[in-house]
Chains A and B, each alone.
Chain A
Amino acid sequence: MFKATIKSLLSRKLRLVLSALAVVLGVMFVSGSFVLTDTLQRSFTDLFSSAFANVDVSVAPKAEKGKEPEPLTPQAIADVKSVPGVASAVGDVQGSARPIGKNGKVITTSGSPRFGFNWTGTGQEKIREGKAPAAENEVVLGGYLATTGGFKVGDDISLLTLEPKKTFKVTGIYEYAGGRDSLGGELSVAFTEPVAQQLLLGKKDVFSGITVTAAQGTSDDALRDAVAAKMGSGYDVKTGAVLAKEQADQINEGLKFFNYVLLGFAGIALFVGIFIILNTFSIIVAQRTRELALLRSMGASRGQVIGSVVLEALVIGLIASIVGLGAGIGIGALLAKIFSSVGGTNLQLAGIGVPMSAIISSFAVGMIVTVIAAVMPALRASRIAPVAAMREAATPDRPLTKITITGALVAAAGGTSLAFGFNQASLPLIFGGILVAFVGVALLTPILSKPMVSLIGRLLSWSMPGLLGRRNSARNPRRTAITAAALMVGISLITGVSVVLTSATKSIEKLATGQLQTDLIISGEGQMEGQAATFKRDVLTKIEKTDGVKSAVGWSQDGVLQGENQLFAVGVTDMPAMATMFALKPKSGDIKPLKDGQLALPEEMAAEKGWTVGSTVTLQLAKAAAPQNYTVAFIWAKSQVLQGALVLPESASAQFRSDQIAQAFVQVSSGVSAADVQKRVEPLFADNPEITVQDRSAFVKQTTSQFDTVLLMIQILLALAILIAVLGVINTLALSVIERTRELGLLRAVGMRRSQVMRMITVESVVISVFGAVLGLAVGLALGIATVQALKDQGISEIGLPWMTMAQYLVVAAFVGVIAAILPAIRAARLNVLDAIAYE
């Protein structure tokens, strides 16, 4: 039996390749994500151990919870120096510094930091060309900043620090060990020490940390203990090795999330792969009916027949897993290479590693998925009566009642789980529900395929080849349905996401036009990253005095501690004006200017905390010496534009990390055009290119444009699922072509041209693809609308349907159908007529 199975496998190489391909792709994605993250993790660990290579021990002020750490004084450095075993102790100054490019715009990175520090000459930075900064107006640039911004020694560069734009002369460019431009894509610049202190820490003679090196014969650990003992509890004293590990762990935590995302998409790809493998095995078993029945008539037991199919699956799974693992290692290595060179990270890759997790998951996934997919057709194959071998007739259509009822039940179960998931905000229930719902819909597709395929086919069957293609696609509803269902999964996920994002966009637009009564919005970059650019208070005063401005409100923002909880707070300059602009309605209390020691908050936050007007709330502000009590002055009714923020009086801003204005809103006088006022306000920010002045529609556009990026990324990741589905279409068509060899021979014999044969196969392919797309759009719409309904409380109040995008998916699906048909069609057209007619 074993021999018979292997022989049968080898005799049909095409079949083997086609059924293995889907598994290969899925396994490739899984192992590729493991290899990629493993390689990156080890590379980052290497990077940070080299970055802290010349730090034996580091001293930093300890930050109390919710408070800004006090910077170090020169006395602290002297203290460290006095510890026995210290060879050197150098004060470090570091803080945010954003360079302005030659085009006048702030240079941004994709997440890597932008900072400035004091040039000490003792760090690991080495001057590559030029010389160290000596005068107040001199700086040296990191190699990466120099190349990104196109700066050369002798050029001028403008920088934004705690102070507005300042211009410096570039005296030199530095690099890191090995001639590297940067450690990890960061943009850095070094000043003389006094300038660094003033611009980065805001005070003369303070430091943000101390780098200590050990004298000969003193171990890092011993030195750390000695320094810690001397400095006392107000300082964090760590060895360079620990610091390197902390930083690497932090990055790796981010990579882990990245890995989960990749694995999630690999899971989707495999899920789609199961459809394909299932279908392939069903078709193969159907085609082997005679062979299997012959085995049974010669005395093979049912168990042996099942065993033979499962064995075939195991062999295919094994080969596919090996190939997939190999391909995954290749893809992982390639992606790591791309990752390390994009964005100037110049990350030196630690050798490509193949972690155990990649190997185990590859084989587990590849073999298990394939065997699961093969068991069902195997069970069916074992039920074939031996007499079927003698019969010419193909297996008759089985009734669809059972599969339809099962499908309806499974879909209902999936829907219920989804509903519960949304209700309980439980992600496992939601994802499980979606998955189960997909299976249910897939089981329902055969019954849908009859009317829908004939409807779609009618549009394409104006000629005889078209008619034949359409009839062929309606011929085996299960086969067509499963093939289409594989395509459905990818398209419905994209459609669902697209519906949610379109709805979010629409909701924001409606909100902005309906509730936001401001004409101009002034905000800095980085609102999302939590380190928003800010501007000085006196600029707001100038705005208020600008011609045509009716009122202007601004706030500074910071995180404050209430017990253990971090809350977001804003210090507003003019509370009543803000209430007007944001159309705030009082829920309890009156909206009045806030006095010192008063606060206001939104209804839902008050409900969550159980605070009412008059409640006392104790808050720790970053620069305040101790927690202070605030009284709730009023609570405003739920608003979509201002939520999740405590409002404090303007005076509280002084105790924020920065008291500068983070966002400001302007209402223009009636009869004045916002555009004119915008032109008059913009010059006030000439030296602050991180701040933009936008009218309402531009602001909305900017806010919603991030959704496009999200959608694009999801589309790219789901492209793999769609690619596998396309393989499924190719697979089904190729196997159908083999199955219908004699029919094709007959058609050719009675005069069908090769081009007509190809057209016939193409129509069948397009019908299947469009059917899958239509299903996917329908399911995606349902999923999307359900999600939007569930997110109603989160502010998505409108349902927006992405008609254009959906139309695009439909066109893409038709195109995919044409592409998928190419190879099977060529194969069909090339058939030798005589051989085909005589085909058994």
Chain B
Amino acid sequence: MSASDGVAARAVDVWKSYGSGDAAVTALAGVSVDLEKSRFTAIMGPSGSGKSTLMHCLAGLDDVTSGEVWVGGTKVTGLKDRGLTELRRDKVGFIFQQFNLLPTLTAEENITLPLAIGGKKVDKAWFDVVVDTVGLRDRLTHRPTQLSGGQQQRVACARALVSRPDVVFADEPTGNLDSQSGAEVLGFLQRSAREFGQTIVMVTHDPNAASYADRVIFLKDGHIVRELLSPSAEEVLDTMKHLDSVVAVPHV
């Protein structure tokens, strides 16, 4: 990264379109953004705004049509499958909306999966800290089917954190949870950023979830249109409503 100090991931004039010719759909239209280290950033926007695409491009799960993506000093754009795989394994952590865990592995095995795949040793002390923070100490030997939805998401959080990645990407991590479990997970993500200095990028459409973040970026039709710092849920909701009213207005 050109000037990596303080930046965990960066997008530079990223364009992403699907299909070609008349059928082409532009999901990202020249997005540039720096995601600072040790911060909890939320990306918001209505359906089809390109928020998930932006996250996928930043995380090396999808390639960009033009522009550049950097993660923690590594230029992601142009990496081949092997490079991307290693990036995801070593520098990035993931929390998906659902289906985060392998049913054949125990909670503990799921948490240490990326390390095991990479043939790395588990930092026992750090593992203990993470496990105690998410409160799964007594669930480590359980299989996913024996865990509640909230517990499963907390296992996923622990897995994302245990390898100390440059960035943790969370895609609607509370989308499938009841509000109580959702609050636990969000609180945990917030603590990870504040106490452990973990960079977290979360895609969500839930204003309440976004209110846990230090910074909220709003996307619409493939552009970044607004940004809020440490907003309340009401502020986020207002901004979203404003975005909704913009829908009818022609492209600015």
Contact = CB atoms under 8 A, between A and B. Distances in A.
Contacts of A464: 113, 116-117, 119
A322 interface: no
Contact of A751 (B102, B104, B118, B145): B118
Given A750-B113, A752-B117, A471 B105 contact: yes
A756 interface: yes
B85 to A, nearest CB: 5
A682 B104 CA distance: 72
B65 interface: no
Contacts of B90: 751
Contact of B88 (A471, A472, A750, A754): A750
Given A464-B117, A756-B117, A750 B105 contact: no
Interface string A457-500: 00000011101100110010000000000000000000000000
Interface stretch (B7-15, B93-101, B210-218, B226-234): B93-101
A467 B105 CA distance: 9
A83 interface: no
With a 10 A CB-CB cut-off, give which of B89, B96, B104, B118 has the most chain A CB atoms: B104
> For the complex, would chain A's binding face be called helix, strand, loop or mixed by DSSP majority?
helix
Contacts of A748: 85, 88
B117 A751 contact: yes
Contacts of A837: 96, 99
Given A468-B102, A468-B104, A751 B85 contact: yes
Interface string B67-91: 0000000000000011001101110
A750 B61 contact: no
A742 interface: yes
B114 interface: yes
B99 A742 contact: yes
Interface string B41-70: 000000000000000100001100000000
B82 A753 contact: yes
B114 A750 contact: yes
With a 10 A CB-CB cut-off, give which of A749, A751, A834 has the most chain B CB atoms: A751
A747 interface: yes
Contacts of B101: 746
Contact of A834 (B62, B86, B103): B62
Contacts of A129: none
B61 A749 contact: yes
A228 B242 CA distance: 118
B117 A750 contact: yes
B220 interface: no
A46 B62 CA distance: 70
B159 interface: yes
B56 A834 contact: yes
A746 B88 contact: no
Nearest to A752: B117
Contact of A472 (B104, B117, B119): B104
A331 interface: no
A468 B61 CA distance: 23
A837 B101 CA distance: 12
B102 A743 contact: yes
A334 to B, nearest CB: 43
Contacts of A833: 61
Interface string B102-125: 111100000001101111000000
A750 B159 contact: yes
Contacts of B119: 463-464
B178 to A, nearest CB: 16
Contacts, number: 66
Contacts of B89: 750-752
A753 B118 CA distance: 9
A423 B83 CA distance: 68
Interface in A739-778: 742-743, 746-754, 756
Nearest to A830: B81
A403 B101 CA distance: 31
Nearest to A750: B114
A638 B104 CA distance: 63
Contact of B85 (A393, A471, A743, A754): A754
B116 to A, nearest CB: 4
A746 B81 contact: no
Contacts of A468: 102, 104-105
A746 B56 contact: no
A243 B186 CA distance: 96
A471 B88 CA distance: 24
A753 to B, nearest CB: 5
Nearest to A755: B82
Given A833-B61, A834-B56, A834-B61, A751 B86 contact: yes
Nearest to B102: A743
Contacts of A465: 117
Contacts of A834: 56, 61-62
A748 B87 CA distance: 11
A342 B198 CA distance: 76
Nearest to A742: B99
Contacts of B85: 748, 751-754
Nearest to A464: B116
A752 B103 CA distance: 16
Contacts of B117: 464-465, 747, 750-753, 756
Interface in B190-226: none
A393 B145 CA distance: 9
B19 to A, nearest CB: 15
B96 A746 contact: yes
Nearest to B91: A751
B158 to A, nearest CB: 13
B113 to A, nearest CB: 6
B100 A746 contact: yes
B162 to A, nearest CB: 11
A283 B61 CA distance: 30
Contacts of B104: 468, 471-472, 475
Nearest to B97: A837
Nearest to A469: B104
Contacts of A751: 85-86, 88-90, 114, 117-118
A833 B90 CA distance: 17
A238 B87 CA distance: 90
A282 to B, nearest CB: 19
Contacts of B113: 464, 747, 750
A472 B100 CA distance: 17
Nearest to A756: B117
A834 B86 CA distance: 16
A751 B118 CA distance: 8
Contacts of B82: 753-754
Nearest to B96: A837
A739 to B, nearest CB: 12
Nearest to A754: B81
A108 to B, nearest CB: 60
A467 B116 CA distance: 10
B114 to A, nearest CB: 5
Interface in B123-170: 145, 159
12 contacts: A743-B99, A747-B113, A747-B117, A750-B88, A750-B89, A750-B94, A751-B85, A751-B86, A752-B85, A753-B82, A834-B61, A837-B96
Given A748-B85, A837-B99, 5 more contacts: A746-B99, A746-B101, A746-B102, A751-B90, A753-B86
Query: What 7 A-B pairs come out closest when comparing CB atoms?
Result: A751-B89, A471-B104, A464-B116, A751-B88, A750-B114, A752-B117, A753-B85
